[in-house]
Each structure stands twice: as structure tokens, then as C-alpha cells.
Amino acid sequence: MRQENGRNAVMLGASTSEERFAEKRMPKMKSLVLMRAAIPRAHIPLLGTAAWLVLAGIVHAQTADAPTATVVGGGALPRDLSPWGMFMSADIVVKAVIVGLALASVVTWTIWLAKAIEIWRAKRKARAALRALAAATSMAEVGPAASPASEFLAAAADELRLSADTTEKDGLKERIASRLERIEAAFGRRISRATGVLATIGATAPFVGLSGTVWGIMNSFIGISKSHTTNLAVVAPGIAEALLATAFGLAAAIPAVVIYNVFARSITGYRAQLADASAAVLRLVSRDLDRRTVARKPPLRAAAE
């Protein structure tokens, strides 16, 4: 009985507290009901639409003001990581290295175009000269010949004219061979011009690109020390600039080395053609000297008498 009386007393106290709380909220609920009754029902959808438009405008403004960079590892990376973007954001030293390597690459391809045409024309003339010299039996039969045969024949004719009062054929041949050798060396030097530039570019461009790489990595470490963080957003730009300089160095060096080797083989073949032309002229000179010697000898009968 005592337990039931206690439960009834607790329930009575709880109901009394709920009634008091309800009495306190009644004025507020009545005010809300009165405000709702004061607003026409036709205006309620319009107010809802206006509220949604205001919320949408706030969200759009926040989205427009927010940065558009990609977030990687808690840090924002630059938006433009293209080669041009990396070049524009690079340090002045890295920019100078890249511009220098780009100019070296332009020089390489310009030399390739000019020298390829020059070597092709020179080898064609040398082949024509060899055909003309091989078809002749004496210097007088050659006639107007293409270079370098014309230079070789002119040098041999000059030496024959200067040595007309001598009778030693071996000395004359040596002097003519010396002249032809000098002409051959001059043609070789002329055809080899500008190939040293290719060798220089091929040998130094990787190291120039490496200097840009070292500078970019130094900038990356400086950025790390200043920001006191190893975030990718701090490290990535300098590393990208460094790799871009290395790429330009390789792009300038590899074609220069390949083109230099191709030209070296072509120039070696051209010099061999010059040597063949020089030897052909010497053979013609030797024949003419032997014929002149035979013509000067008296007949055997006249000599016996």
C-alpha cells in the first residue's frame, strides 16, 4: 500500500509540472498562431521561394570566392602546370637557362638545314668532277670542269708553267701534289664550318640544363625552410621548373649530337671524293709529262748517226 501511494504521489507531481510548463508556453504558441493567421495563405509559397533564393545566392557567393586550386595532401597546387605556365612562374635564372637552351636548339636545326644542303651540293659536284676526270686521257681533254676539278687542274697547270724550264719529273710531281693537297685541305675546312657549334651544343647543353635543375631544387628547399612545411604545394613548383630545364637541355643536346655524327660521316665521304679527284689529276699530269718526254727524245736512227 505504501509503495502504491508513493507511485501515485510521483505521478501527480509529474503531471503538475507538465501543466505548469504548458501554461508557460501557451502565450508563445498563441502569438505564433496569431502571426500565422495574420499572413494570408496565398503569400506563404512566395515567402518560401524568396528564402530559397536568398540561400542559393549565399552559397553561390561563397563558391565564387573560394579558390579553384586542386587540393593535394592538405595544400593547394598551382592551377597551371603546363610547360608555359611553369616557365612563366619560374625564377629569372631558370628562365634564362631555358631561353638559352631554346636558342641553342634553333641554332642546331638551322645549321642542320644549311649544312645538309651544302654537303649535298658539294658531293654532287665532286661526283661530276670525278666522272669528267675519269673520262679524260690528258689535261687538255678535261675542258671546263666543275669544282673541285677546276681548282685542281688550275693548280697543276700553274705549277707546270712555273716549272717549264726544269727537267726533273719527280720534283715537279711532288710540287703539284703539294698544291693539290693544300686545295683539298681548304675544301675540307670549308665544308666542316659550323659543325664545331653542333659539337659544343651537344657537349654543354646537358650541363646547362643541369644548372637550371640545381637552381630549381635550391628554390624548393628555400621555400620549404621559409614555410616550415614539406607540403607538396611548396615543393612541386620548384621541382617542376627544375625538370623543365633538364628537359630543354636534353632536347637541345640529343639532336645536336646526332646531327654532328651524321655530318661527320658525310664530310668524311666528301673528303674521300676530293682525294680521288686529286689522284685523278696527278695521273693526268703524269701522262702528260711522259708524253712530253717521249716527244722530246730524238729518233733512234738519228741518234745512231
Nine-digit cell at 252? Answer: 637541345
pLDDT at site 76: 45
- Give the length of the chain: 305
**0.85 exceeded by the pTM?**
no
Q: What is the pLDDT of residues 157-192, one digit of tens each?
A: 898 888 888 777 888 889 999 999 999 999 999 999
**The pLDDT of residue 296:** 61
**pLDDT tens digits, residue range 251-304?**
999 999 999 999 999 999 999 999 999 999 999 998 888 887 666 655 544 444
Percentage of the chain exceeding pLDDT 90: 34
Q: How far is CA 169 from CA 3, 140, 164, 302, in A?
A: 153, 19, 11, 25
The least confident of 46-60, 71-85, 218-232, 260-274 is: 46-60
